[in-house]
Amino acid sequence: MSISYRYKGFRADGGEVEGRISAADEADAISQLTARRVTPFELRPDAAARRYERRKARPVDRARFLRQISMLARAGAPLLSCFDSLIEDEPCREIAEQARLVRADLRGGSRLSASLMRRMPDLPDYAPRLVELGEATGSLPARLTEISTQMEADLAAAAEIRNALAYPAFLAVAGTAAVFFIFIAVVPRFSALLADSRGDIPALSRMVLTIGEFAGSNALAILGGFVILVLVAARLLSAPGTRQRLTGLAFRLPVVGGFLAAADSARWARITGTALAAGAGLIDALALAERGVQSPRRKAGLAEVRRAVRAGAMLEQALRAHTDIDTMTINLVRTGRLSGDLAGMLLFVAESGEANARNLAKRVTALAEPLAVAFLAGIIGLVVVSLVLAMSSLYDFNIE
């Protein structure tokens, strides 16, 4: 299969030339240009000729790409060969373009960590730093594997939350639509039947009928207002400050907050343990793990932990004083420090925390579905009861 390349180069007479060429790979393209007495100084696949499955990269695409790089590096392939192998068949256009820039940086003598930070800004904050540790200690393949593993764990945790809330969210949308239909199509008919007897019906029925009359008369305005509300909410959610406040609120919710806190603790422990195992100092490892924490409150507490440890405090004492991390984790950290294997103990804490987060996700699923059903059934039941009361209040039933 031939690939279309765009090139820029110098002719034998020193003039500059550019154009397209079809070749099996880059080496073949360079050979063809050399045969034409053209010395290329820029050669890249023609984006217009290449068809990609996706234009924008998803988090799963980034995790997959790093996993592929780590597997090739562990097999002993040079970094440039790793990028050469993957770019050709990369299905995501954004990843392919960023990878070409990284490859160009590597050919120019840049370090992978610096290039990833500059060319792939959407990677987690801890990724370039762990790559830098791998470069310094000669353990780059292992660090790349650990980065991809952590990214996959983060994706799995997010997927568990989405899966847990997907069905309740569907029920909420369907129930809201059903309630809206009842108010604009059903309740107004009862309101017309009971127009002359409005004073004889219960207050609850009068309230429901009034809401139904308003909804039936202003259905389009209500729908338009709802659409505007959704657009405004989407705009606000795109702001980093809003997302940060909502994240902090989510950590304070019952059940869901427990799941998020468990996942956050596991992420902190894994990054800290991985950095220590890679040869980083404790202060550097804490600073690195601090960037991977999602809870704003916990991130601020971990910053205080880092300052306290720098000032001479023991890690477990600083964690107890400045964070809400559970006592069992703090005791395990103390055991790891005393045994001289803090990195191994933190990785054990991470595995335990991830298992705990999975169990809490199951609890979220188990609670969310019946709560959503009960809430919607309560609203619809309230409307039905109010209509029945309105109709029955107009008649006197004498049961002998």
Q: Specify the pLDDT at position 47.
A: 58
Does some domain include residue 269? no
Q: Please state, in angstroms and as integers, the Cα–Cα distance from residue 325 to each residue in 269, 303, 320, 351, following that order.
A: 11, 14, 7, 15
- Per-residue pLDDT for 234 more than 50? yes
- Per-residue pLDDT for 199 more than 70? no
Please give the model's pTM, rounded to 2 decimal places: 0.67
Q: How confident is the model at residue 304 (pLDDT cuts 50, 70, 90)?
A: very high
Q: Specify the pLDDT at position 395.
A: 62
Q: Specify the pLDDT at position 36.
A: 84
Handedness of CA 79, 283, 330, 323 (dihedral sign): negative
Same domain (yes/no): 18, 99? no
Q: Please state, in angstroms and as integers, the Cα–Cα distance from residue 58 to each residue in 84, 131, 151, 391, following that order.
A: 21, 21, 12, 56
Same domain (yes/no): 92, 36? no
Same domain (yes/no): 14, 92? no
Give the 3-state secondary structure of residue 264.
helix
CA distance 153 to 292: 12
Q: How confident is the model at residue 177 (pLDDT cuts 50, 70, 90)?
A: confident
Task: Check: CB of residue 390 under 8 Å from CB of residue 192.
Answer: no
Does some domain include residue 253? no
Same domain (yes/no): 75, 131? yes
CA distance 245 to 230: 18
pLDDT in tens, 106-117: 888 889 989 999
CA distance 292 to 356: 19
Same domain (yes/no): 72, 135? yes
Same domain (yes/no): 99, 144? yes
Task: Check: CB of residue 41 under 8 Å from CB of residue 73.
Answer: no
Does some domain include residue 254? no
- Alpha helices per DSSP H over 23-78: 26-35, 59-74
Does some domain include residue 345? no
Over range 45-53, report the average pLDDT: 65
For residue 236 the two structure tokens come to 């606000």
- Per-residue pLDDT for 258 more than 80? no
Q: Specify the pLDDT at position 49.
A: 53
Q: Mean pLDDT of all residues in the chain? A: 82
For residue 320 the two structure tokens come to 């107890």
Contact partners, residue 149, CB within 8 Å, separation at least 6? none
- Alpha helices per DSSP H over 218-255: 219-237, 240-251
Q: Specify the pLDDT at position 297.
A: 86
248, 233, 232: which is closest to 299 by C-alpha?
A: 248
By CB neighbour count within 10 A (0-12 exposed, 13-18 middle, 19+ buried), where does 183 fall? Answer: buried
> What does DSSP assign to residue 12?
T
Could you give the number of structural domains in the chain?
A: 2
What residues are paired with 212 via a beta bridge? none
- Per-residue pLDDT for 62 more than 80? yes
What residues are paired with 44 via a beta bridge? 6
Q: Specify the pLDDT at position 198.
A: 63
Q: How confident is the model at residue 46 (pLDDT cuts 50, 70, 90)?
A: low
Does some domain include residue 100? yes
- Per-residue pLDDT for 1 more than 60? no
Task: Check: CB of residue 112 under 8 Å from CB of residue 101.
Answer: no
CATH label of the domain that carries residue 136 = 1.20.81.30
> What does DSSP assign to residue 200?
G
Q: Specify the pLDDT at position 240.
A: 67
Q: Specify the pLDDT at position 397.
A: 46
Does some domain include residue 73? yes
Q: What percent of the chain has pLDDT over 90?
A: 11
- Per-residue pLDDT for 365 more than 70? yes
Q: Specify the pLDDT at position 398.
A: 45
Give the 3-state secondary structure of residue 311.
coil
Same domain (yes/no): 63, 34? no
pLDDT in tens, 332-361: 999 998 998 888 999 898 888 888 877 877
For residue 322 the two structure tokens come to 């400045």
Does some domain include residue 333? no
Task: Check: CB of residue 198 under 8 Å from CB of residue 209.
Answer: yes
Q: Specify the pLDDT at position 184.
A: 83
Same domain (yes/no): 73, 15? no
Q: How many other C-beta atoms can be found within 10 angstroms of the C-beta atom of residue 104? A: 15
Q: How far is CA 396 from the centre of its chain?
A: 61
CA distance 384 to 90: 56
Domain membership of residue 25 as a residue range: 3-45
pLDDT in tens, 100-150: 889 888 888 889 989 999 999 888 888 888 888 888 888 889 889 988 988
Same domain (yes/no): 65, 115? yes
Does some domain include residue 82? yes
- Per-residue pLDDT for 152 more than 60? yes
Task: Check: CB of residue 61 under 8 Å from CB of residue 34.
Answer: no
Over range 55-60, report the average pLDDT: 89
190, 252, 240: which is closest to 216 by C-alpha?
A: 190
Q: Specify the pLDDT at position 400.
A: 47
- Per-residue pLDDT for 287 more than 80? yes
What residues are paired with 7 via a beta bridge? 19, 43
Q: Which of 255-259, 341-345, 381-385 has the highest mean pLDDT?
A: 341-345
Over range 253-267, report the average pLDDT: 80
Q: Specify the pLDDT at position 399.
A: 44
CA distance 322 to 311: 14
